[in-house]
């Protein structure tokens, strides 16, 4: 029953994060082959947001790029026509980003160019319109375009993250913010605990657990309207919702029959299908990207390990054997890897298992890492951690080489979930 006790402790812990808390992002690792890139400050007319600094910060925290400091720049061109390529070559820069922001009265016109310094030409160039409120999102979109052009991988800077906070006199909040932690918006607030946020596949809804009626219930909330529906409130545990890839079903943990088991709820008919059948604690289900299988945590072997079952039901098969503790799985978008909380040696770390070989690679140093969530492009894993009594978010690349830490100066955060798009 130690596992159930741990679940209760996580569910009821109180952490603090005021929505106005300042955010600092620390890049604690990077790839040895980082590309030299210079983002020149954009020429701007009365713009309320510094787009170039956001682009620079996005690219820097990815770990793929070595960004040039502004004070080291000998000139500040705003278009390709103004660039002296030999000057930037002498400063050992491979790529250059230049641009301008013009206020035309009703909106802002943003244009940028990505230049190849060594070839002396343009690789990418866009002009886009933006309202004042959308300038930050526009900056993240520019970062995505540059990241994909230079790495061949989809960018994730325009995405969002959901997380749980608790502040003041037990004021629990479910919040959604930009992928860099800025622009936090409160989705739900309660005096009782909130937990387990899960994004719908289209990124328009969140499922989560609330104790606002003094017992556990699962809600689905539409972000654009705030409309929400209570979809599960059975006697006992109602927890760990996970969306099917087509958005029509939820896998969840229910104890209405006695022990916590894995069920699938059809959101249209509200029909329930029971998948796991044991006398142990089965929880934390997650769908494979193709919808064919569900991985869940169970202590039926004596200690928490990961098991797999067909989403239609059938035999339940253990899939983790390395370490004393493997829990809280998260599939990569391509289904080839599975992130998890891996316990051993007195600590909890984030690890990734190759689904083909079943080999496990430990990515983080712990000692209190939890709640892994893959980025939409599969290159990074977002997770919650704690050190010295302070909780924060971190991200690590799937090879463990690139790491970053997002910390709110006046509080803490837990249970992060990266939006699917």
Interval 156-174: pLDDT, tens = 999 999 999 876 555 889 9
CA 209 to chain centre: 18
Strands 35-39 and 65-67, by their bridges, are parallel
> Is residue 101 a contact partner of residue 54, using CB atoms and an 8 Å limit?
no
SS3 337: strand
Report the percentage of the chain scoring pLDDT > 70.
90
* pLDDT exceeds 60 at position 13: no
State how far the Cα of 399 lies from the Cα of 159, in Å rounded to an integer: 21
SS3 88: helix
Q: What confidence score (pLDDT) does residue 21 get? A: 44
State how far the Cα of 352 lies from the Cα of 132, in Å rounded to an integer: 40
Per-residue confidence band for 342, with pLDDT thresholds at 50, 70 and 90? very high
* pLDDT exceeds 60 at position 53: yes
10 or 65: whose pLDDT is higher? 65
E strands, 71-216, where? Answer: 95-103, 108-116, 121-130, 160-167, 171-178, 185-190, 194-199, 205-210
Residue 175 is encoded by which pair of tokens?
């919040």
Task: Compute the mean pLDDT over every residue in the chain, rounded to the nearest whole number.
Answer: 90
This prediction has a pTM of: 0.88
H helix or E strand, kind and range, residue 252:
strand 249-254
Q: What confidence score (pLDDT) does residue 27 get? A: 60
Report the percentage of the chain scoring pLDDT > 90.
77
Q: What confidence score (pLDDT) does residue 11 get? A: 31
What is the rounded average pLDDT of the residues 108-127?
97
Q: What confidence score (pLDDT) does residue 402 get? A: 83
State how far the Cα of 87 lies from the Cα of 75, in Å rounded to an integer: 9
pLDDT tens across 366-416, in order? 899 999 999 999 999 999 998 777 778 899 989 888 888 876 655 568 899
Lookup result for tokens 């620079």: 56
In 3-state terms, the chain is what percent helix, strand and coil (to 5)? 10, 45, 45
What is the rounded average pLDDT of the residues 36-56?
95
Residue 9 is encoded by which pair of tokens?
């402790």
Q: How many CB atoms lie within 10 A of CB 132?
A: 13
> Is residue 378 a contact partner of residue 355, using CB atoms and an 8 Å limit?
no
b/e burial code for range 173-205 (CB count within 10 A of at least 16 → b): bbbbbbbbbeebeebbebeebbbbbbbbbeeeb
Q: What confidence score (pLDDT) does residue 105 get? A: 85
Distances (CA, A) of 238 to 106, 118, 195, 207, 383: 49, 58, 11, 12, 23
Q: What confidence score (pLDDT) does residue 257 get? A: 92
Q: What confidence score (pLDDT) does residue 29 get? A: 62
pLDDT tens across 187-204, in order? 999 999 999 999 999 999
Strand-pairing partners, residue 186, are 175
State how far the Cα of 250 lies from the Cα of 265, in Å rounded to an integer: 5
**113 HSE (CA, 13 A, CB side):** 17
Q: What confidence score (pLDDT) does residue 12 get? A: 30
**Domains of the chain with CATH codes:** 2-25+159-418 (2.120.10.30), 34-151 (3.40.50.10070)
Per-residue confidence band for 19, with pLDDT thresholds at 50, 70 and 90? very low
pLDDT tens across 260-304, in order? 999 999 999 999 999 998 899 999 999 999 999 999 999 999 999
> Is residue 272 a contact partner of residue 263, using CB atoms and an 8 Å limit?
yes
* pLDDT exceeds 90 at position 180: no
């Amino acid at each position: 029953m130690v596992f159930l006790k741990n679940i209760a402790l996580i569910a009821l812990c109180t952490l603090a994060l005021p929505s106005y808390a300042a955010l600092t992002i620390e890049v604690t690792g990077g790839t040895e082959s980082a590309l030299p890139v210079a983002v020149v400050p954009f020429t701007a007319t009365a713009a309320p947001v510094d787009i170039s600094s956001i682009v620079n910060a996005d690219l820097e925290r990815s770990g793929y790029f070595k960004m040039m400091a502004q004070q080291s720049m000998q000139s500040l061109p705003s278009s390709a026509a103004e660039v002296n390529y030999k000057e930037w070559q002498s400063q050992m820069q491979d790529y250059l980003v230049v641009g301008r922001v013009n206020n035309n009265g009703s909106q802002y016109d943003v244009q940028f160019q990505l230049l190849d310094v060594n070839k002396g030409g343009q690789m990418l160039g866009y002009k886009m319109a933006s309202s004042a409120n959308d300038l930050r999102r526009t900056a993240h979109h520019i970062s995505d375009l540059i990241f994909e052009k230079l790495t061949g991988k989809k960018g994730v800077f325009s995405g969002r993250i959901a997380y749980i906070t608790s502040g003041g006199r037990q004021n629990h909040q479910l919040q959604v913010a930009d992928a860099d932690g800025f622009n936090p918006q409160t989705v739900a607030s309660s005096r009782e605990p909130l937990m387990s946020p899960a994004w719908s596949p289209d990124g328009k809804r969140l499922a989560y657990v609330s104790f606002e009626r003094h017992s556990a219930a699962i809600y689905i909330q539409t972000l654009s309207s705030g409309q929400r529906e209570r979809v599960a409130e059975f006697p006992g545990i109602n927890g760990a919702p996970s969306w099917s890839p087509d958005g029509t079903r939820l896998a969840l943990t229910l104890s209405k029959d006695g022990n916590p088991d894995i069920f699938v709820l059809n959101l249209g008919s509200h029909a329930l299908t029971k998948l796991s059948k044991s006398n142990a604690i089965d929880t934390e289900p997650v769908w494979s990207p193709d919808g064919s299988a569900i991985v869940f945590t169970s202590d039926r072997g004596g200690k928490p390990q990961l098991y797999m079952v067909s989403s239609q039901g059938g035999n339940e098969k253990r899939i983790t054997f390395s370490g004393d503790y493997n829990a809280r799985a998260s599939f990569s978008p391509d289904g080839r890897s599975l992130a998890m909380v891996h316990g051993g040696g007195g600590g909890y770390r984030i690890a990734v298992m190759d689904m083909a070989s079943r080999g496990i690679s430990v990515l983080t140093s712990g000692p209190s890492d939890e709640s892994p969530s893959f980025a939409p492009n599969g290159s990074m894993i977002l997770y919650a951690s704690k050190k010295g009594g302070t909780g924060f978010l971190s991200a690590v690349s799937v090879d463990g080489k690139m790491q970053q830490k997002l910390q709110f100066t006046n509080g803490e955060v837990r249970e992060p979930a990266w939006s699917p798009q």
